[in-house]
A and B are shown apart, each in its own frame.
Chain A
């Protein structure tokens, strides 16, 4: 879990930088979208507003393992 102490900080050079933990989170979600979400969404119609309950439950279970759900 991230708390306030892990907000962005200023480096010795004065440049703004993102905490490593948040960069990892970003990368994890990015890969999840490509590897897990896109294949499910590709089966749906253009204006779909949901996937099947079965697919959603599978996605949510996988997201939970990433500690994002």
Chain B
């Protein structure tokens, strides 16, 4: 969906992606495998900023042959502050870089055909980070599953003297942080929208249930405690959706949308968590059973407040903007 039409993708603008993301998330595995992957999976957007060779081999290869890719930033030393926490090293030797280190929490790593890895090539800070494209089966790469709260587990990816050809460096040396930021910021809007879709589906289930379930001589929908839960959920979802649309709209107009993306991400993910929590409360015991998708959504939405930049980092972006420090 996100891939430009010139490379064989649907070429949807960000608002279009946002709308599809909301609807495609409305299924049991929708938090991480929207629409059961019916719409395919796009390669990381920054591949389209690569060389002709990189675009053809990795980008277009992914579209035409369904190749899967991962994106590796986080390490055991931290994920929210990559400029300081990236320890993975890449040292240029002749016509290749020697890559060493370990990445953590990498979704879809094992089995992926290729991936983009952020590694340090220079001094500390943003300017010392460079992006590399690695093939999933390169000698020296190993994977270890990390069991987590969700069914779709991420991986630890270990690089032991992995030889990466110089033509696989994505962008200039020291340009990796900007690429990581582009991937993260542009991804935050559809990411936010997916959580709204799940919460909307949960709310619709809860409304149907409240209208049919009886307790203490009347339907749940007749009780003010339930009505207010439904009303609060509707109001919060509308607000989150409009903030997400606004971020998408600004992106499509070519405006700087980093602030809007952060606001949308934190609002949508936190709203979705609250809404699904309320819906479980309305369902009672059935809400936490595995008969319904609510139990799975509740667990998987919890990760959304951490992944792709935790709520605290999004609030930091907002606060810096308010206080005049836009870094």
Some 15 contacts from A to B, beta carbons below 8 A apart, are: A1-B10, A2-B13, A2-B16, A4-B253, A6-B13, A7-B15, A7-B249, A8-B15, A33-B24, A33-B26, A46-B296, A50-B33, A50-B37, A59-B36, A68-B1
Instruction: List, in ascending order, chain A residues with CB within 8 A of B296's CB.
Output: 46-47
Assess whether B12 is in contact with A1, with CB atoms less than 8 Å apart: yes
Assess whether A37 is in contact with B27, with CB atoms less than 8 Å apart: yes
| A55 CB to nearest chain B CB (Å) | 7
Which B residues are closer than 8 A to A by beta carbons? Answer: 1, 5, 10-13, 15-16, 19-20, 22-24, 26-29, 32-33, 35-40, 151-152, 242, 245, 249, 252-254, 290, 293, 295-296
Q: Which of A1, A16, A63 contacts B35 (CB 8 A)?
A: A63
Instruction: List, in ascending order, chain A residues with CB within 8 A of B295's CB.
Output: 46
Which A residues are closer than 8 A to B by beta carbons? Answer: 1-4, 6-8, 16, 22, 25-26, 29-30, 32-33, 36-38, 40-41, 44, 46-51, 55-56, 59-60, 62-63, 67-69
Q: Give complex CA distance A62, B26 in Å.
A: 18
| B276 CB to nearest chain A CB (Å) | 15
Give the number of A-B contacts (CB < 8 Å). 109
Assess whether B10 is in contact with A67, with CB atoms less than 8 Å apart: yes
Q: Which of A4, A6, A29, A67 contacts B23 (CB 8 A)?
A: A29
Instruction: List, in ascending order, chain B residues with CB within 8 A of A38's CB.
Output: 27
Assess whether A7 is in contact with B252, with CB atoms less than 8 Å apart: yes
Instruction: List, in ascending order, chain B residues with CB within 8 A of A32's CB.
Output: 35, 38
Instruction: List, in ascending order, chain B residues with CB within 8 A of A48's CB.
Output: 28-29, 151
Instruction: List, in ascending order, chain B residues with CB within 8 A of A46's CB.
Output: 28, 290, 293, 295-296
| A48 CB to nearest chain B CB (Å) | 6
Ranked 4 nearest A-B pairs via Cβ: A59-B38, A29-B23, A47-B151, A46-B290
Assess whether B19 is in contact with A29, with CB atoms less than 8 Å apart: yes
Q: Give complex CA distance A2, B27 in Å.
A: 26
Instruction: List, in ascending order, chain A residues with CB within 8 A of B29's CB.
Output: 41, 44, 48-49
Assess whether A41 is in contact with B245, with CB atoms less than 8 Å apart: no
Assess whether B253 is in contact with A49, with CB atoms less than 8 Å apart: no
Instruction: List, in ascending order, chain B residues with CB within 8 A of A8's CB.
Output: 15, 245, 249
Q: Give complex CA distance A40, B35 in Å.
A: 10
Instruction: List, in ascending order, chain A residues with CB within 8 A of B40's CB.
Output: 60, 63, 69
Assess whether A26 is in contact with B38, with CB atoms less than 8 Å apart: no
Assess whether B16 is in contact with A56, with CB atoms less than 8 Å apart: no
Q: A33-B23, A38-B27, A49-B29 are in contact. Are A59 and B35 (CB under 8 A)?
A: yes
Assess whether A50 is in contact with B19, with CB atoms less than 8 Å apart: no
| B189 CB to nearest chain A CB (Å) | 13
